């Protein structure tokens, strides 16, 4: 299980013709984040995991499309010890570059398709000489909006691939020089976005998404509810 409470703020400032925004998102989990997690009874209580910060978020708007680009990082604020079986962090810094678009198929912008790509690189894990390979994630969805854009219903998707091999350092000898393999996994499901509003004011949204995973290789597979 994971819980998060973040702030995503879009300013009135412009940079390269785009709206400038930023995000900070602390997360909490009651499980070990690293594999292997299949045969260990964790018994963990909810604790702080790694902190996500996006100091640069840019958004451009055209008549039938929106575009976004950003830079984010994961800070190793969660507990981590290479000898522990109860880590709630990953013990490394991760740097994420992202870009995406939403395309509208009609003038009223009721039908839309979105896709965003994220590329991650990582530093060595704390107190080890292990470096995780680069990861590419693509996610988005096809949706229909109602109630002047307040209510949205559609299909969400994602795909994730390990692009480069993990560098296991001295631990590679335990595998006889073999690689753990570049993992991949795919997911697709339904999404519903509901407005929280009165007749005069919009306060926010509630988003519910359920994804079925498939095609997993060199990683675990299961369904996800967000």
Residues 149-184 have pLDDT tens digits of: 778 899 999 999 999 988 887 766 555 555 566 889
By the 8 A CB rule, do 26 and 70 touch?
Answer: no
Inter-residue contact 187 to 211 (CB < 8 Å) = yes
Q: Average pLDDT, stretch 185-212? A: 90
Given a cut of 80, whether residue 147 has pLDDT beyond it is: no
Which residue bears the tokens 């839309």?
112
Which residue, 23, 114, 17, 25, is CA-closest to 71? 23
Tokens of 142: 């096809």
- Give the pLDDT confidence of 20-33 residue by residue, as tens digits: 999 999 999 887 77
Encode burial over 79-96: b for 16+ CB neighbours within 10 A, e otherwise: bbeeeeeebbbbbbbbeb
Per-residue pLDDT, 220: 80
pTM here is 0.83
Tell me which long-range contacts 221-224 makes (C-beta under 8 A, separation of at least 24).
221/185, 223/189, 224/187, 224/189
Confidence tier at 203 by pLDDT (50, 70, 90): confident
> Measuring CA to CA, which residue among 106, 130, 222 is closest to residue 180?
130
pLDDT of residue 77: 95
Task: Give the residue, 19 or 36, on which the prediction is more confident.
Answer: 19
């Amino acid at each position: 299980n994971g819980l998060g409470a973040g702030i995503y703020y879009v300013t009135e400032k412009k940079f390269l013709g785009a709206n400038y925004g930023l995000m900070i998102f602390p997360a909490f989990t009651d499980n070990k984040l690293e594999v292997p997690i299949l045969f260990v009874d964790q018994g963990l209580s909810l604790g702080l995991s790694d902190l996500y910060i996006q100091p640069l978020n840019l958004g451009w708007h055209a008549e039938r499309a929106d575009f976004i680009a950003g830079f984010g990082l994961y800070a190793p604020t969660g507990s981590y010890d290479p000898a522990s079986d109860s880590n709630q962090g990953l013990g490394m810094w991760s740097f994420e570059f992202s870009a995406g678009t939403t395309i509208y198929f009609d003038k009223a912008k009721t039908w839309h398709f979105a896709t965003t790509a994220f590329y991650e690189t990582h530093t060595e894990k704390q107190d080890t000489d292990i470096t995780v390979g680069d990861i590419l994630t693509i996610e988005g969805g096809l949706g229909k909006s109602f109630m002047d854009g307040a209510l949205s219903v559609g299909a969400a998707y994602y795909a994730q691939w390990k692009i480069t091999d993990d560098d296991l350092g001295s631990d590679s000898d335990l595998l006889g020089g073999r690689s753990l393999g570049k993992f991949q996994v795919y997911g697709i499901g339904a999404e519903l976005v509901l407005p929280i509003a009165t007749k005069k004011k919009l306060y926010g949204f509630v988003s519910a998404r359920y994804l079925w995973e498939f095609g997993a290789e060199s990683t675990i597979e299961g369904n996800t509810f967000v």
